[in-house]
Every structure is written in C-alpha cells, then in structure tokens.
Structure 1
Amino acid sequence: MQKIMNREEGFTGLEAAIVLIAFVVVAAVFSYVVLGAGFFTTQKSQEVVYTSVDMASSSMEILGDVYGLGTNNTVTTIRFTVGLSAGGTAVDFDTTQMVFATSSVVEILPADDPLYDTNGTSAGHWCIVDGASANDVLLEGDDKFTIVAMPSTALGVNTKFNLEVRPSVGSPLGLKRTTPPKIDAVNLLY
C-alpha cells in the first residue's frame, strides 16, 4: 500500500491540466486585448480617412467666368462667383481668407467689415457683393456668392496671378489667371 501512495503519477497529470488551463486563460485574455486594440485602431483609422477626405476636397467651385475690372490700362479688381461643388459641405465666409500672389508680391487680403457689401471693396480687401445677406455669409445648398477682391497691387498687361480662397475647413480654391494683352474696363481673365 505504501508503494501506491508514494507514486506521484496522478499528481503530475493534475499539475499539467492546471498549467494547461492557466495557459488557455492567459491566451484568451491576451487575444481579447489584441482584438480590442485592433478594433480601436481600425476605428481611429476610419476617422482619419474621413477627416482627410473632408480636408483634401474643396467644397467650392467657380461658377462662370472670372473678370478683371480695369482702369488706366491696369486690372484693379477681380470679380468671380463661387458655389458649392457636388456633395460639398457648407463654407463659412466669416472665417475664410484670401491670398493674392504674383511673381513679385504675396499678400493676404483681409475681408471688409461688413463682409457683405453691395458697393464693393477698397484696395487691399475683399467682400461679397451678391448672393449673401448682412447676417448670412454661409455658402450652403444652391447659394452663389459673387466675390470682389481688390489687391493692393494693380495688375498690368499679360500678368499672371494666383488668388486663393482659403476656407477654415477644406482645401483652398485656387484661381490662376493671366491678364489680357489689352486691358479694357471689363476683361475676361483666362
């Protein structure tokens, strides 16, 4: 009887089962943590993709032509109409900036105060002259805003320039145009 009691073969099997159960529990906890981290990472990646698509796509487009209003054989005022592109999100023009650039000058054009002004703007500023109201400068739906920008620098004949409309959200809308070889009172800019 003593020989049977000194044998530990049964205890070895029990210990092996306990160790196996411990490994299974640890593996289950570890896999739960890894899967949770994977789901969290996937969700964050999806948010980043949606945010970057919103930021990269311009919500606005030019409707019609871009005009340069001239005096004394120079273009002093740029006039154009913008609207939302298909599926574009609303653009708040209270927080929008305009940047004017030529080969020799770059300037940020501040908005007039008030931003909506049917009389136009002064040199070095921009404003909305049609399509908005004094209390509503949010471009949404089928709205069309006619914008007048008057850089401090007058543009001569055959001068290339860039005018960027930079909303607070989304990519800027760039206008790259050239003044004509002969400047009249109203000029179509290409």
Structure 2
Amino acid sequence: MKNVFVQMQNLYSDRKGITGLETAIILIAFIVVAAVFAFTVMTTGLFSTEKAKTTAQAGIAEASSTFAPKGAVIAAANGAKNAVESITFQITTASGSTGTSIAKSKIALIYSDDNQRDSTSANITARGTDDGILKAVVINKIVGDGASPDLLQQGDVAEIIVTLNTTTAAKATKLDKNQIFRLELIPQQGGSLIISRKTPPELMKVMNLE
C-alpha cells in the first residue's frame, strides 16, 4: 500500500514538471511572437520615415531650384557616331518662382564626367577644345510671351541646346558611350538645376535619355 502511495506521489510530481514545461513553452512562444511583431512594426516605421525623408528632400530640392526640368533629355551623336555632339532639354520655372532671366549672359553652365570638368558662361558660340568640352549654348523660349524672350515666367518653357566638342584634344575629352555626365545650370539668382544622365551602350544620331 505504501508503495502504491509513493508511485502515485511520483506520478503527481512528474505531472507538475510536465505542466511547468508546457507553461514555459507557451511563454517562450508568446515572447517570440511579440518580438517578431515588434520587429515588423519597427521595420515598417523606419521604412515610412525614410520614405518621408526622401520625399521631403526631393520637395526641398525642387523648391530651392529656380528652374525645373520639363520633358526628356535628348542627346545627338556626331556623324561618325563616336561622340555625343549635343544635349537638348527643356526647362520651366520651379514651383513658387515668379520669374527668372534666361539671358545667356546671366546663366553659368558646368559640365562634368569621369574625365573632366568644364565651367563657363552660357553666352558661348564657338568655344574650342583649348577651353574645354563645352562648345556652344542656345536658349530659346518655346512656350510663353514672345515679347520677352529672355524672361521665363510661370507656365513658360525654354529649350536649351548644349553643343559639345567631339574631339579629344587639349582640355576636352569627347563624351562617349556608356558614360555618366552632369550638366548644372546656374542662374544669376536662385538655386541651380542639375541634369545627370548616362549615354547608351551604342551612340545613335538621336538618343532619348529620358
């Protein structure tokens, strides 16, 4: 009889151990689920914060610029198709801008790529390789009041054609295929506009760089 009592007591003790183990497993499961949930919430929050930061920075950059790009950037190769000869793009006034001069004498232009950096006034017509890669600049208002061709106001659009030297000589290195280039348009007042693109693997007469 005593042995039976001892066996029953041992069985009860073993059962308590099993119950305690089950409780521990359930507790650990709750902790794991809570940790996963917390990680998901934190990740989502960080992603949302980063997205908001990027959007805000883009908005600030646009607001601080005097000009804003309008449409695609078009590049054209020379006859031999071994160098980019011209880059054409359109600009309008940035949000909040009341009006800006687009007279060539009041705009500076900076060109750069992996091989060179060239800066000059936009008021150039036949610059040689001794000066750099920038050869000529043409600015035409294509939408807006024709009576004031040098003033870009809200709703106006101007087209800018930048001609490049296509020979590698002196201070100029031709812009070739698969190259990233950057053009910075700096007005007399307000922030600058940066156009950065990459030339395609094969140069063609007309190339839409988007």
Distance change >3 Å, CA 130–CA 136, structure 1 → 2 = closer
Q: Do structure 1's residue 140 and structure 2's residue 153 form an aligned pair?
A: yes
Between the two proteins, the alignment pairs up a number of residues equal to: 129
Code of the aligned partner of 2:96: G
Percent of aligned positions that are identical:
25
From 83, 107, 117, the equivalent of 2:118 is: 107
Are the structure 2 counterparts of residues 179 and 113 from structure 1 closer, same or farther at C-alpha, using a change threshold of 3 Å? closer
State TM-score, norm by structure 1. Answer: 0.60
Matched, 1:159 2:179: yes
Q: CA deviation at 1:134?
A: 8.7
**Long gaps (5+) in structure 1:** 1-52, 115-122
Deviations 1:128-156 (A, max 9, x none): 14427596211112110000011335311
Distance in 2 of aligned mates of 1:159 and 1:113: 24
Of residues 83-92 and 131-140 in structure 1, the stretch that sits farther from structure 2 once superposed is 131-140
Structure 1 pair 177–113 and aligned structure 2 pair: CA distance change class (3 A): closer
Q: Is the 8 A contact 1:100 1:151 kept in 2?
A: no
Any unmatched runs of 5+ in structure 2?
1-59, 126-133, 166-172
Aligned to 1:183: 203
Contact 1:100–1:163 (Cα < 8 Å) also in 2: yes
Deviation at 1:111, TM superposition (A): 2.8
Of the three residues 97, 112, 126, the one matched with 1:88 is: 97
Matches within 5 A, 1:23-38: none
RMSD: 2.6
Contact 2:141 2:149 in 1 (8 A): no
Asked whether the equivalents of residues 110 and 126 of structure 1 are also in contact (C-alpha less than 8 Å), the reply is no
Whether the 8 Å CA contact 1:109–1:151 is kept in 2: the answer is: no
